[in-house]
């Protein structure tokens, strides 16, 4: 009656009418009956009034598990199984309170999104064991201190504790902790203890099922555990035909997930997932996706440090749940770097742990593609320079020979993008291919082939360390490149050619808006590579891999190069874990018009910089004008030209102060418009122009227009950008126009490569030392040899 009274505000709420069964009330009362006969706490009652009972439209037809991780975000009903190693501390001297609080927070977030969350928790036995050990030690220490003296305390022995007694001692404390934590998020929880007999008895099964459905309907989180205080020891091989026996919390979670037609079962343990060899061994690799029938590819290690189940039991339970239509992920719930978001990451479809799926992908996984690119790249680097050049020449020929097929595929992409209305006009322009674009691509590829003859293995330094001890520094490929590009199918053959010329393996991830174009262009690249048997060196990632997941493959990828919007680049720079990112987040390019600027040059350079291709990253975004040029014929010509070209003008703060009726004032001087828009600002000198560029620019490309050589040289020397020009359009900042043949991107970083990045930017170096029985001890103070450190001439470069 006390629990009914506590729930009465909920039952009588306007618009709601719930009839609570005795079983549901009993489940709730286990958590909410007052301890030590105190009245029910007010905060426990208040949490009911804030529960939103309207759920999100997440429902789906149950019966088939999700085929891909990306579909997990649609999971409506989720079971989270917490292993003993997750719930308890590593020293087994208490609960992992911080970890448990983080898990409760994640479950609460998902519950408040309208999902139906259930927790199957371990830890009662382990927690009870710790409590009983503490009581026993305390009792023994008092007795021995009284009767035997302090010196014998160290000889105290702890008796073997019976598991059922530990469970009885630990259950109440564990559930009290859950109660306190969920109350912080205004969420109610209910305790349910089950045994194997509850699933074998049909009436008890129906009762359990009804209770759980009623709790979920009321937005309550059921917390389920095996009643280890009364459960008999598990019998070996006691599974019924087609039914898993509840021997531990792994099998309980699986059985419960299937009984409740759950969409997703998340099993958290103290290992990352399944490995193809024992975790911790040198060759152990995490299995991203596990399919039924793959058991022979897995080697099971030892069981968890606490608890009853091992990984073999988890896999068996997971496969049984999968067969019943529930998707399963086994992941690490103890790792300090990921445990704070492991559950939400799994539901968002991120690559965490091992995902169990019944659907095998048609092609290789991205990990397999990375390994293929690594092996193919090493074979590519071992080819003769003439052979690599031959591959690139062949690709250039294919771009023109297969022009019709390429344009037809590109037409499909354009039509789909226009029908869906998904792309802005600048992105549609980038997506579009034409005969002239393909011809330009072919010309650029032939330039790369011609300039690549001595790129790999070129000696850039020779030093004679001592007699018969010579040192060389030579160029070598970086390794495996990941290039992520959007709406730029022309990027694929350019980047492929540069990777081939530099001997790098390549992973390509293009935008889905260019899927048809990318597919045929990649096919042509592999056809060209096949002439020397290195087809695997260039891989196109077609799986549903999220960019963030690709950025975590630090053991497979050596360099990430993003090609696309500033937002894409920023997201990749943020997501990359341990992998360098080459690129620029923004292309805020400036043109400064000096007092000594030529009238004829100004309008031509500004028009070309802004209007020739406004969506490009090297297009003009901010026009800086010397104050003395205001209200002059030159200034009027600039404004008239921009109006004719339909360029929308935004006024900087200083420029707006000079005008009675000004254009719209700019919201930010750090804006990349990517369209027929630009900002105009006024400066008092070339020094102020340089300061403005350093404060608001992105270190991409900046230009001065002047006839004063001294002023121009000051600008060229003091502007700290990747590209700085005098009397030339910003649009010259391009690998093809620099004579590099093509570029993988424009880098604004200050190490390795800067500006348009061609072949040289995709190379690093290694040192080769050739000696004859040399040892360092010979060069000691009393040794027989002396260092020479003489510079040696470099071998003649191939200039053909």
Q: In the chain, what are the domain boundaries?
A: 69-356, 366-457+468-575, 590-743
Lowest pLDDT segment from 22-31, 348-357, 377-386 = 22-31
Average pLDDT along the chain: 83
Query: Is the distance from CB of 733 to CB of 744 less than 8 angstroms?
Result: no
User: Once rounded to an integer, what is the mean pLDDT over residues 126-150?
Assistant: 65
Q: Quote the pLDDT of residue 96.
A: 81
Q: Are strands 469-477 and 538-540 parallel, antiparallel or unpaired?
A: unpaired
Answer with the residue of higher pLDDT: 234 or 687. 687
pLDDT (mean) for 521-531: 97
**What does 105-121 look like in DSSP terms, one character per residue?**
HHHHHHHHTT-EEEEEE
- How many C-alpha atoms does 138 have within 13 Å on its Cβ side? 6
pTM: 0.75
233, pLDDT greater than 60: no
Average pLDDT score over residue span 121-146: 69
State the average pLDDT over residues 274-292. 82
pLDDT at residue 343, as a whole number: 95
CATH topology of domain 590-743: Aldehyde Dehydrogenase; Chain A, domain 2 (3.40.309)
Q: Across residues 7-11, what is the average pLDDT?
A: 38
Instruction: Identify the CA nearest to 217 among candidates 12, 4, 20.
Output: 20
Give the pLDDT score at 16.
40
Rg (CA), the chain: 34
Per-residue pLDDT for 24 more than 80? no
Q: Which of 285-289, 526-530, 606-610 has the lowest mean pLDDT?
A: 285-289
Give one DSSP letter per residue of 676-714, joined into a string. SEEEEEEESSHHHHHHHHHHH--SSEEEEE-S-HHHHHH
> Which of 489-503, 630-644, 656-670, 714-728 comes out lowest in average pLDDT?
656-670
Per-residue model confidence (pLDDT) at position 637: 96
Only one residue has tokens 């350019």, namely 494
pLDDT recorded at residue 768: 95
With beta carbons less than 8 A apart as the criterion, state whether 525 and 395 touch. yes
pLDDT for residue 299 is more than 70: no
* Cα 752 to Cα 359, 413, 538, 757, distances in angstroms: 43, 36, 23, 10
Is 144 a residue whose pLDDT tops 80? no
> Cα 771 to chain center, whole Å?
45
pLDDT at 48 over 60: no
**What pLDDT, on the 0 to 100 scale, is given for residue 390?**
97
pLDDT for 2 equals 31
Neighbours of 796 (CB within 10 A): 7
Please answer whether residues 671 and 619 qualify as being in contact, where contact means their C-beta atoms are separated by less than 8 angstroms: no
**Strand pairing of 289-290 and 354-356?**
parallel
What's the average model confidence in pLDDT over 686-697? 97
Strand runs (DSSP E) across 139-215, as ranges?
189-194
Beta strands 648-651; 677-683: pairing state: parallel
Mean pLDDT of 439-467: 92
**How sure is the predictor about 596, in pLDDT bands with cuts at 50, 70 and 90?**
very high
The number of C-alpha atoms within 13 Å of 180 and in the hemisphere containing its C-beta is 10
CATH code given to domain 366-457+468-575: 3.40.605.10
The yes or no reply on domain 69-356 and CATH 3.40.50.300 is: no
């Amino acid at each position: 009656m006390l629990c009914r009274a506590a729930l009465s505000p909920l039952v009588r709420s306007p618009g709601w009418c719930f009839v609570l069964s005795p079983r549901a009330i009993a489940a709730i009362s286990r958590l909410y009956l007052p301890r030590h006969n105190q009245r029910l706490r007010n905060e426990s009652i208040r949490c009911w009034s804030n529960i939103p009972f309207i759920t999100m439209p997440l429902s789906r037809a149950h019966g088939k598990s999700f085929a891909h991780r990306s579909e997990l975000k649609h999971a409506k009903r989720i079971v989270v199984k917490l292993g003993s190693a997750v719930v308890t501390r590593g020293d087994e001297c208490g609960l992992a309170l911080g970890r448990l609080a983080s898990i409760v927070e994640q479950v609460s977030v998902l519950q408040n999104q309208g999902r139906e969350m259930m927790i199957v928790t371990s830890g009662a036995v382990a927690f009870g064991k710790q409590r009983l050990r503490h009581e026993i030690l305390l009792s023994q220490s008092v007795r021995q201190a009284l009767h035997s003296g302090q010196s014998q305390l160290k000889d105290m022995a702890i008796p073997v504790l019976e598991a059922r007694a530990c469970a009885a001692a630990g259950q109440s404390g564990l559930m009290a902790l859950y109660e306190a934590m969920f109350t912080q998020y205004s969420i109610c929880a209910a305790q349910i203890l089950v045994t194997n007999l509850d699933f074998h008895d049909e009436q008890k099964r129906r009762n359990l099922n009804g209770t759980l459905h009623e709790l979920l309907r009321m937005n309550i989180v059921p917390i389920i555990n095996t009643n280890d205080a009364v459960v008999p020891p598990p019998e070996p091989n006691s599974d019924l035909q087609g039914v898993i026996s509840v021997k531990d919390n792994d099998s309980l979670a699986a059985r419960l997930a299937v009984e409740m037609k759950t969409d997703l079962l998340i099993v958290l343990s103290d290992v990352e997932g399944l490995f193809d060899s024992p975790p911790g061994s040198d060759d152990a690799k995490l299995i991203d996706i596990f399919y039924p029938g793959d058991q022979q590819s897995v080697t099971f290690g030892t069981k968890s440090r606490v608890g009853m189940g091992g990984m073999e039991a988890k896999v068996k339970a997971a496969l049984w749940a999968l067969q019943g239509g529930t998707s399963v992920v086994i992941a690490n719930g103890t790792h300090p770097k990921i445990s704070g978001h492991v559950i939400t990451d799994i539901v968002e479809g991120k690559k965490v742990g091992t995902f169990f799926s019944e659907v095998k992908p048609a092609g290789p996984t991205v990990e397999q593609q990375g390994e293929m690119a690594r092996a193919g790249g090493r074979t590519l680097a071992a080819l003769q320079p003439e052979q690599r050049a031959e591959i690139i020449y062949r690709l250039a020929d294919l771009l023109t020979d297969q022009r019709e097929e390429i344009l037809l595929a590109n037409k499909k992409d354009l039509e789909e993008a226009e029908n869906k209305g998904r792309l802005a006009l600048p992105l549609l322009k980038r997506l579009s291919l034409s005969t002239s674009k393909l011809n330009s691509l072919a010309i650029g590829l032939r330039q790369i082939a011609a300039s690549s003859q001595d790129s790999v293995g070129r000696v850039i330094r020779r030093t004679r360390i001592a007699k018969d001890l010579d040192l060389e520094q030579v160029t070598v490929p970086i390794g495996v490149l990941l290039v992520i590009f959007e709406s730029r199918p022309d990027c694929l053959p350019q980047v492929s050619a540069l990777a081939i010329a530099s001997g790098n393996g390549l992973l390509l991830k293009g935008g889905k808006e260019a899927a048809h174009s990318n597919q045929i262009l990649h096919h042509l690249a592999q056809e060209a590579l096949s002439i020397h048997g290195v087809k695997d060196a260039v891989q196109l990632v077609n799986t549903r891999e999220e960019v963030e997941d690709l950025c975590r493959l630090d053991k497979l990828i050596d360099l990430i190069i993003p090609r696309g919007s500033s937002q894409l680049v920023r997201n990749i720079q943020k997501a990359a874990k341990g992998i360098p990112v080459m690129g620029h987040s923004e292309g805020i390019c400036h043109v400064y018009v000096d007092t000594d600027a030529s009238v004829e040059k100004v309008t031509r350079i500004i028009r070309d910089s802004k209007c020739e291709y406004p969506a490009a990253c090297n297009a003009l975004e901010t026009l800086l004008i010397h104050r003395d040029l205001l209200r002059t014929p030159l200034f009027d010509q600039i404004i008239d030209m921009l109006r004719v070209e339909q360029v929308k003008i935004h006024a900087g703060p200083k420029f707006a102060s000079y005008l009675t009726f000004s254009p719209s004032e700019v919201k930010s001087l750090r804006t990349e418009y990517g369209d027929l828009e630009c900002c105009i600002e006024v400066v008092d000198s070339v020094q102020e122009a340089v300061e403005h560029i350093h404060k608001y620019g992105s270190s991409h490309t900046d230009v001065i227009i002047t006839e004063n050589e001294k002023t121009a040289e000051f600008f060229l020397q003091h502007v700290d950008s990747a590209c700085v020009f005098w009397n030339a359009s910003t649009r010259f900042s391009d690998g093809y126009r620099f004579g590099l043949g093509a570029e993988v991107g424009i880098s604004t970083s200050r190490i390795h490569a800067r500006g348009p990045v061609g072949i040289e930017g995709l190379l690093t170096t290694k040192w080769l030392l050739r000696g004859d029985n040399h040892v360092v001890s010979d060069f000691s103070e009393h040794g027989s040899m002396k260092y020479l450190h003489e510079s040696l001439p470099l071998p003649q470069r191939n200039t053909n």
